[in-house]
Amino acid sequence: MPSLRLALQQGPAGVPRTVEDGLAALDSAAREAAAGGARLLVTPELSLTGYALGDGLTGRAEPADGPSARAVAGIAAAHRIAVVYGYPELDPDSGALYNSAALIGPDGTVLAGYRKTHLYGGYEKRRFTPGDRLVAQAELDGVCVGLLICYDVEFPETVRAHALAGTELLVVPTALMRPYDVVAETLVPARAWESQLYVAYADRTGREGEFDFAGLSCLAAPDGSVPLRAGRDAALLLGDADTGLLHKSRAQNGYLADRRPGLYAA
């Protein structure tokens, strides 16, 4: 069974002075992750620009195939590592602004893109348009990788939808704020257990503008364990999503097989 080695970047808070600064930080993390044998680097929500930009998010927004996307593709290809990064996406047709994440393959190919479907609080709802496609996924080294963003993972329906669609590793760039540590410490591991998949949860840490980010990034496994857990400081964590353990856990825990969807009408 394939195993995917991944790196979680728990990024320090602070808005990069320019997008180029954000790209430089990503390049450094990709280099370190690749040196540790990782095949996938996961960064926090809006990792290229910073989260607390307010209305300045619009000035840093780009189309999904914009200059930053091409720069990230170059970084991924240079270090031969897949990258999940967050950015404010501008739809050139509608002018809408989305809180987005993209998965770039180790050869620089765009494998998947996702627009956050559940916006958190007035700060996000005033600035972003919610996405309308829940499941975005791609195969990486024989592992089915899916994307959600932050608040999305707090809804059991979103994670279950991924599990039923075949996602084995659910990647969640996040900007979890204090005092909601319970999300990282309790809820994310519960999502991995109840839907029988891995959840890779990469947070910011420290203060940025009005927000105080929680840290506590983690990799939660389907057997109830948490193989990786950060504290409050900036960190790069390395660990493995083992599909052998996943299949064994699914065989022992019947949540997916024992569902009775006919009873679950709204």
> In the structure, what pLDDT confidence band is assigned to residue 55 with cuts at 50, 70 and 90?
confident
Dihedral sign, CA of 107, 108, 112, 114? positive
Residues 242-254: what's their mean pLDDT?
A: 95
Query: Which residues participate in catalysis according to the annotation?
Result: 45, 116, 150
pLDDT at 88 over 90: yes
**In this predicted structure, what is the pLDDT of residue 6?**
98
Average pLDDT, the chain: 95
Burial (CB count <10 Å: 0-12, 13-18, 19+), residue 255: middle
**In this predicted structure, what is the pLDDT of residue 18?**
82
pTM, entire model: 0.96
Q: SS3 of 87, please? A: strand
Query: What is d(CA 110, CA 265) in angstroms, rounded to the nearest whole number?
Result: 36
Angle at 43 between CA 42 and CA 46, to 5 degrees: 140
